[in-house]
Amino acid sequence: MRKNLLLTALFLLMGSCLFAQNDKSKRVTTIGIIDTMETKSGYRINEYYIELTKNQLDSLKGKKVSVTGKLLIVEGIDPTSKEMVQGSLNDRFFITEPKFTIVYDTREPLIQDSSPY
């Protein structure tokens, strides 16, 4: 009886550890310029799609940005499948919960005063 109880507790512990490992989402970062052409999947940056509000799009338009967030992969359709999840044959990669950082390649030099003091 005691042996069964210990084995059950061990299996429950192992199962919860495996579940916790699968629950962790992969984080991704990409750097580029957001394509301002909206699609059904959102806005595209490199091979990823992100959702943006109009204010976010206006503030990031034309700027080089670093986007970091959780990776969500929506698998492409299987032409033989009865149920269609999306309309693309290829997998789609989404960044959820995105965090944005503007990337500056060069900085303007500091203005130097020509006077000695």
Residue 43's CB: how many other CB atoms inside 10 A?
18
Residue 4 included in any domain: no
Residues contacting residue 74 through CB under 8 Å, at least 6 positions apart: 85, 86, 91, 92, 94
Question: What confidence tens digit (pLDDT) does each residue in 31-71 have?
Answer: 999 999 998 889 999 999 999 999 999 999 999 999 999 99
Residue 57's domain comprises 26-102
Residue 35 included in any domain: yes
Residue 83 included in any domain: yes
Residue 116 included in any domain: no
Question: What is the predicted pLDDT for the residue at 35?
Answer: 95
Closest to 105 (Cα-Cα) out of 59, 68, 66: 66
Give me 57's structure tokens: 């799009």
Residue 16 to residue 107: CA distance in whole angstroms: 49
Domains: count for the chain? 1
Average pLDDT of the residues in 69-82: 84
Residue 62 included in any domain: yes
Average pLDDT of the residues in 66-90: 81
Residue 39 included in any domain: yes
Residue 43 included in any domain: yes
Question: What confidence tens digit (pLDDT) does each residue in 27-41 have?
Answer: 999 999 999 999 888
